């Protein structure tokens, strides 16, 4: 794995292709309260690009351009959170989303283990550590934090490939796609004041 760290934005000349894996680290799990600290992106070639967000009021032009490009597919794990944070931080609506957690829940109905670590382990036979998950992302990053953050986007392309084979086999691609498309509205509900309500429930 190769890690590239940038301050405040991606370089303008970086070509990440048409399918990117993306993840964020924040100060906590509330997308309105908790500040965005880091954005990780990979094109699936074993290189992780980390953007440290030092000033949330400064718009990362190049990063936002990629996020707003509807031709680029963005693979997340638990897109609902990252998409809400990015929407709240920069006022952008991200489309063309793939969420490995949703895909897993729709197809791996034989288990309740849908974490990134679980998918790496079962689908790719790779064991990863999640010990830095709950650390303080607001200050200078440690080597361990950088490695953890970079690893979070390293395997999403491969996981997607495996899940897509299963979704196709069981004819659930359309259902998964419909859920991915709903994420932009789910995050609107989250940020608009309905974070915990299941609006479909009686
Ligand atoms: Mn992460």
Residue 129, pLDDT score: 85
Has residue 185 got a pLDDT over 90?
Answer: yes
Has residue 27 got a pLDDT over 80?
Answer: yes
Has residue 133 got a pLDDT over 80?
Answer: no
The rounded Å distance from CA 62 to ligand 1 centre is: 21
How would you class 140 by CB atoms within 10 Å of its CB: exposed for 0-12, middle for 13-18, buried for 19 or more? exposed
The set of residues, in sequence order, having a beta carbon less than 8 Å from that of 141 and lying 6+ positions away, is: 5, 38, 50, 52, 149
How would you class 102 by CB atoms within 10 Å of its CB: exposed for 0-12, middle for 13-18, buried for 19 or more? buried
The rounded Å distance from CA 136 to ligand 1 centre is: 12
Two tokens at 172?
């659930």
Q: What's the rounded Cα separation, in Å, for the pair 17 and 200?
A: 37
The rounded Å distance from CA 163 to ligand 1 centre is: 20
Residue 134, pLDDT score: 80
The rounded Å distance from CA 134 to ligand 1 centre is: 10
Has residue 4 got a pLDDT over 90?
Answer: yes
The rounded Å distance from CA 201 to ligand 1 centre is: 30
- Measure the CA angle with vertex 153, ends 167 and 177; round to 5°: 30
The rounded Å distance from CA 202 to ligand 1 centre is: 34
Has residue 193 got a pLDDT over 80?
Answer: yes
The rounded Å distance from CA 70 to ligand 1 centre is: 23
Nearest to 25 by CA among 38, 35, 10, 34: 38
How would residue 150 be classed by pLDDT, with cut points 50, 70 and 90? very high
Q: In the CATH scheme, what is the homologous superfamily, with its name and number, of domain 2-192? A: Ribonuclease H-like superfamily/Ribonuclease H (3.30.420.10)
Residue 147, pLDDT score: 96
The set of residues, in sequence order, having a beta carbon less than 8 Å from that of 39 and lying 6+ positions away, is: 22, 23, 24, 50, 51, 53, 60, 63, 86
The rounded Å distance from CA 53 to ligand 1 centre is: 15
Domain boundaries, the chain: 2-192
The rounded Å distance from CA 31 to ligand 1 centre is: 14
How would residue 131 be classed by pLDDT, with cut points 50, 70 and 90? confident
The rounded Å distance from CA 87 to ligand 1 centre is: 17
Residue 130, pLDDT score: 81
Instruction: Flag whether the pTM goes above 0.85.
Output: yes
> Which tens digit of pLDDT belongs to each residue from 73-126?
999 999 999 999 999 999 999 999 999 999 999 999 999 999 999 999 999 999
The set of residues, in sequence order, having a beta carbon less than 8 Å from that of 17 and lying 6+ positions away, is: 43, 72
Share of the chain above pLDDT 90, in %: 95
């Amino acid at each position: 794995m190769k890690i590239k760290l940038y301050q405040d934005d991606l370089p303008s000349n970086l070509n990440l292709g048409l399918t990117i894996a993306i993840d964020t680290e924040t100060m906590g799990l509330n997308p309105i309260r908790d500040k965005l600290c880091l954005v990780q992106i990979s094109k699936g070639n074993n290189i992780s690009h980390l953007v440290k967000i030092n000033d949330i009021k400064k718009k990362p032009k190049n990063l936002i351009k990629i996020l707003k490009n509807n031709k680029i597919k963005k693979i997340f794990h638990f897109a609902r959170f990252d998409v809400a944070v990015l929407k709240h931080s920069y006022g952008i609506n991200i489309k063309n989303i793939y969420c490995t957690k949703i895909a897993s829940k729709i197809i791996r109905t034989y288990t309740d283990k849908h974490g990134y670590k679980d998918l790496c382990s079962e689908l790719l036979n790779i064991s990863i550590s999640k010990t830095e998950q709950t650390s303080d992302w607001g200050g200078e990053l440690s080597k361990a934090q950088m490695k953890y953050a970079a690893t979070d986007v390293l395997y999403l392309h491969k996981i997607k490939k495996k899940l897509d084979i299963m979704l196709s086999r069981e004819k659930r691609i359309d259902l998964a796609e419909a859920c991915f498309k709903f994420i932009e509205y789910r995050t609107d509900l989250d940020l608009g004041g309905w974070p915990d309500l299941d609006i479909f429930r009686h």
